[in-house]
């Protein structure tokens, strides 16, 4: 797959194949990674988790990217973690350490323009995954409209050998409040799923696959 992340900030999400994921008594992904997450899942996704992710390309953009190769950038991200959030603090520290071993530059750009450029080429036999987490609420109405149009154009061109996915983790209205939901669309397969819900910082997470209306 090829990962294209909009609103990537410091780009810490761009190494999913280099992360370990602790589940009960096993670690999926890279068990020797500097970043081993405890995702605190309830349930499991309906898929074979034994497959390794093969990432053939990744890129990210942000209106205000954070350069985590600098002390200033690392301090900037650390400043968002409250002093009593020790687990979150440890996750960030490990993610920064992992990033230092595998740098990925996050380009300074608004999402739609950047995405339009990235999506002009499609690689055969590669799933292109456009993703964003906790970004949509900050995007202007104009950028939202343009983002939807760019994605619709790419979706219309997707083929079985050049498929496209949209994967987002964003807050949605639920009951009297809201919750963070993981949503997936796949083209040209025409699949549209709500995969589950969790907390804004990713854990805990409950897998609960239903149609994404």
Ligand X SMILES: C[S@@+](CC[C@H](N)C(=O)[O-])C[C@H]1O[C@@H](n2cnc3c(N)ncnc32)[C@H](O)[C@@H]1O
Total of chain residues touching ligand X, rule CB under 6 A: 16
44 vs 64 by CB, closer to ligand X: 64
Beta-carbon contacts of 211 under 8 Å, excluding residues fewer than 6 positions away, are: 192, 193, 194
Residue 182 touches ligand X, criterion: CB under 6 A: no
Residue 62 touches ligand X, criterion: CB under 6 A: yes
Report, in Å, the least distance between residue 48 CB and ligand X. 26
Strand partners, 107: 61
Beta-carbon contacts of 79 under 8 Å, excluding residues fewer than 6 positions away, are: none
- Residue 113: in which H helix or E strand, if any? helix 111-118
- Chain residues 77-96 in contact with ligand X, contact rule CB under 6 A: none
Residue 133 touches ligand X, criterion: CB under 6 A: yes
Residue 6 touches ligand X, criterion: CB under 6 A: yes
User: Which DSSP letter does residue 164 get?
Assistant: E
Residue 7 touches ligand X, criterion: CB under 6 A: yes
User: Which DSSP letter does residue 162 get?
Assistant: B
- Chain residues 105-124 in contact with ligand X, contact rule CB under 6 A: 110-111
Q: Which of 59, 68, 139, 158 binds ligand X (CB under 6 A)?
A: 139
Dihedral sign of CA atoms 82, 134, 20, 43 in order: positive
Whether the Cβ atoms of residue 106 and residue 65 lie closer than 8 Å to each other: yes
89 vs 188 by CB, closer to ligand X: 89
Beta-carbon contacts of 51 under 8 Å, excluding residues fewer than 6 positions away, are: none
- The residue at minimum Cβ distance from ligand X is 7
Report, in Å, the least distance between residue 188 CB and ligand X. 27
Q: Which of 40, 67, 143, 170 binds ligand X (CB under 6 A)?
A: 143
Q: Are strands 164-174 and 128-133 parallel, antiparallel or unpaired?
A: parallel
Residue 64 touches ligand X, criterion: CB under 6 A: yes
Which two three-digit tokens encode residue 174? Answer: 């639920």
User: Which DSSP letter does residue 17 get?
Assistant: G
163 vs 165 by CB, closer to ligand X: 165
Report, in Å, the least distance between residue 8 CB and ligand X. 6
Question: Which residues of this chain interact with ligand X, rule CB under 6 A?
Answer: 6-9, 61-64, 110-111, 133-135, 138-139, 143
């Amino acid at each position: 797959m090829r990962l294209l992340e909009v609103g990537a900030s410091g780009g810490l999400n761009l190494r999913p194949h280099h992360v370990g994921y602790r589940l009960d008594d096993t670690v999926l992904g890279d068990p020797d990674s500097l970043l081993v997450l405890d995702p605190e899942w309830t349930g499991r996704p309906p898929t074979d988790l034994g497959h390794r992710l093969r990432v053939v390309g990744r890129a990210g953009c942000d209106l205000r990217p954070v350069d985590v190769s600098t002390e200033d950038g690392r301090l900037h991200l650390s400043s968002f973690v409250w002093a009593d959030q020790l687990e979150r603090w440890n996750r960030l520290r490990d993610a920064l350490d992992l990033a230092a071993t595998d740098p990925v530059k996050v380009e300074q750009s608004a999402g739609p323009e950047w995405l339009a450029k990235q999506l002009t080429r499609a690689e055969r036999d590669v799933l292109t995954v456009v993703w964003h987490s906790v970004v949509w609420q900050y995007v202007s109405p104009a950028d939202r409209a343009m983002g939807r149009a760019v994605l619709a154009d790419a979706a219309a061109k997707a083929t079985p050998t050049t498929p496209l996915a949209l994967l987002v983790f964003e807050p949605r209205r639920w009951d009297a409040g809201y919750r963070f939901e993981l949503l997936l669309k796949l083209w040209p397969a025409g699949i549209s799923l709500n995969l589950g819900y969790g907390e804004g910082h990713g854990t805990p997470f409950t897998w609960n696959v239903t149609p994404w209306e």
